[in-house]
Amino acid sequence: MDYMIPQEEPERQYAYIRLLKDIIADKKNTAGRELTYHIQTFGCQMNARDSEKLAGILEEIGYVETDTEEADFVIYNTCSVRENANTRVYGRLGHLGARKKHRRDMLIAICGCMMQEPDEIEKIKTTYRFVDIVFGTHNIFKLAELIYDRLRSDGMIIDIWKDTDRIVEDIPNARKYSFKTGINIMFGCNNFCSYCIVPYVRGRERSREPKEIIREIEKMVADGVKEVMLLGQNVNSYGKTLDVPVSFAALLSEVAEIDGLERIRFMTPHPKDLSDELIQVMAKTPKICRHIHLPLQSGSSRILKLMNRRYTKEAYLELVRRIRESLPDVALTTDIIVGFPGETEEDFQDTLDVVRQVEYDSAFTFIYSKRTGTPAASMDGQVPEEITKERFDRLLAAVSEGARKRCGLDVGKILPVLVEEVNEQHPELVTGRLSNNTLVHFKGDPSLIGRIVDVKLNESKGFYYIGELK
């Protein structure tokens, strides 16, 4: 039957989806029940979006979602930013293998950033031979073809692309929330921060054409989406390598013109090239949410240089000053690494100093993790664990102190909230987000989900509010 399969994408994948629909329908008939899938996503927003694409393909084929790993098809979408993420995946995979012994027809796939590391593929091949399909970050659009290949053969299917200059979109996808989603505007990263494995596993920077992005968002909006998050490892360098170059700020302005789209977020800008043009576009476009995630990584100019971040402590603080001047109500959040090789107490004090000056709304704090193959892995002065842990605790305390001050600022105001879900612990409450991304809990019913409503913020609880519907 394969002779009928076209070479071009995405038509090729749609052909495989059609073939699989029949196969899965047969399997359902034989089993006398639905076939289920479960995707376990590790890591960042990019992976979360990739998982929506994988889910879309599986649903199109005829699988239905379940929230446990007792499924007919389980996919692990992995992250390799830190070593312990890798260790966790293998622990869980071991359990899954044990389960598969009793369910021979179960399918297990593993994909994502970890699979772009050759050593990890070796490990899967030798130790986890029960895995059915292994693929990477560049070819998730091919899931249907890979499943078809697996069903037609006996062994593990491995398909990893080292890099790619192709961008295949227009594949089905299933959104986690009906009213908000992410959209990739670019892939890969060219920055090579010295600790980071992303440029090696996600490949070189590639931007999508603005008209493709606009078209996709328009379709999402027609389908009920109110909020989109524009995703890229370094959104500020969006569009630089397109045939007709476009700035990220210009793209944002264009996206803001889309009728029916109410909120726009983006992740992640790099401080070294966050432009004044972007700040100005944000200031005059209320649809763009009042939140900037601005990874600091370290407050020490010396460490920043070793990290290859290409800004100094002073330049970062100056950028924050400019942002706050034009966007006084913006929330700033960040990523910080402690224990980078060679970090001294003095360097760490610089980090604390920036944290105290900026007063972030929240921060993701990480203990440096050595990633083989990155320049930092072979740097002198790896910091002992006791010291890193102690610094980490002091950092957390400084971050919470700043966050407490910032979150109190809006008490008493009435602000729009996009309602996301029923509160898990208190079902009489619903939970939503302010434009600045802060969570708000208030009394309400499920009919509010997906709507933007005015809520009075009665009380700050440090990093979230308790409010009431107005």
From 63-71, 82-90, 191-199, 241-249, give the range in contact with ligand SF4 by CB under 6 A. Answer: 191-199
Q: Given the DSSP bridges, would you call strands 107-112 and 133-135 parallel, antiparallel or unpaired?
A: parallel
Residue whose C-alpha is closest to residue 307's, from 466, 194, 387: 194
Taking CB under 6 A as the criterion, which residues in 238-297 touch ligand SF4?
A: 270
Decide: is 200 part of the binding site for ligand 5AD (CB under 6 A): no
Pick 199 or 416: Cβ nearer ligand SF4: 199
Q: What minimum distance in Å lies between the beta carbon of 459 and ligand SF4?
A: 36
Residue 227 phi/psi, 5-degree rounding, is -130, 130
Taking CB under 6 A as the criterion, which residues in 309-338 touch ligand 5AD?
A: 335, 337
Spell out a b/e string for 217-244, using b for 16 or more CB atoms within 10 Å of the CB, else e. bbebbeeebbbbbbbbbbbbbbbeeeee
Residue 337 touches which member of ligand SF4, ligand 5AD, none, C-beta under 5-8 Å by kind: ligand 5AD
Q: Which sign, positive or negative, has the C-alpha torsion 171, 56, 234, 229?
A: positive
Decide: is 198 part of the binding site for ligand SF4 (CB under 6 A): yes
Residue whose C-alpha is closest to residue 412's, from 370, 444, 460: 460
The answer to whether residues 60 and 15 touch, using CB atoms and an 8 Å cutoff, is no
Taking CB under 6 A as the criterion, which residues in 73-112 touch ligand 5AD?
A: 81-82
> What is the CB neighbour count within 10 angstroms for residue 362?
19
Residue 107 touches which member of ligand SF4, ligand 5AD, none, C-beta under 5-8 Å by kind: none
Decide: is 224 part of the binding site for ligand SF4 (CB under 6 A): no
Strand, helix or coil at 117?
coil
Judged by CB under 6 A, the residue of 369, 388, 431, 460 near ligand 5AD is 369
Q: In whole angstroms, how large is the CA radius of gyration of the chain?
A: 23
From 63-71, 168-176, 184-192, 246-254, give the range in contact with ligand SF4 by CB under 6 A. Answer: 184-192
> CA 315 to CA 272: how far, in whole Å?
8
Residue whose C-alpha is closest to residue 442's, from 265, 178, 329, 461: 461
Judged by CB under 6 A, the residue of 136, 295, 299, 444 near ligand 5AD is 295
> CA 276 to CA 222: how far, in whole Å?
32
Judged by CB under 6 A, the residue of 80, 86, 234, 431 near ligand SF4 is 234
Judged by CB under 6 A, the residue of 76, 368, 442, 465 near ligand 5AD is 368
- Residue entry with tokens 């009489």: 428
Decide: is 193 part of the binding site for ligand SF4 (CB under 6 A): yes
Decide: is 196 part of the binding site for ligand 5AD (CB under 6 A): yes
Q: What minimum distance in Å lies between the beta carbon of 414 and ligand SF4?
A: 37
Residue 369 touches which member of ligand SF4, ligand 5AD, none, C-beta under 5-8 Å by kind: ligand 5AD
Residue 82 touches which member of ligand SF4, ligand 5AD, none, C-beta under 5-8 Å by kind: ligand 5AD
Residue whose C-alpha is closest to residue 365's, from 341, 397, 387: 397
The answer to whether residues 156 and 28 touch, using CB atoms and an 8 Å cutoff, is no
Q: How many residues bind ligand 5AD (CB under 6 A)?
A: 12
Residue 233 touches which member of ligand 5AD, ligand SF4, none, C-beta under 5-8 Å by kind: ligand SF4
Q: How many residues bind ligand SF4 (CB under 6 A)?
A: 10
> CA 36 to CA 39: how far, in whole Å?
10
The binding site for ligand 5AD (CB under 6 A) comprises 81-82, 195-196, 295, 297, 335, 337, 366, 368-369, 371
* Interface contacts to ligand SF4, rule CB under 6 A: 189, 191-193, 196, 198-199, 233-234, 270
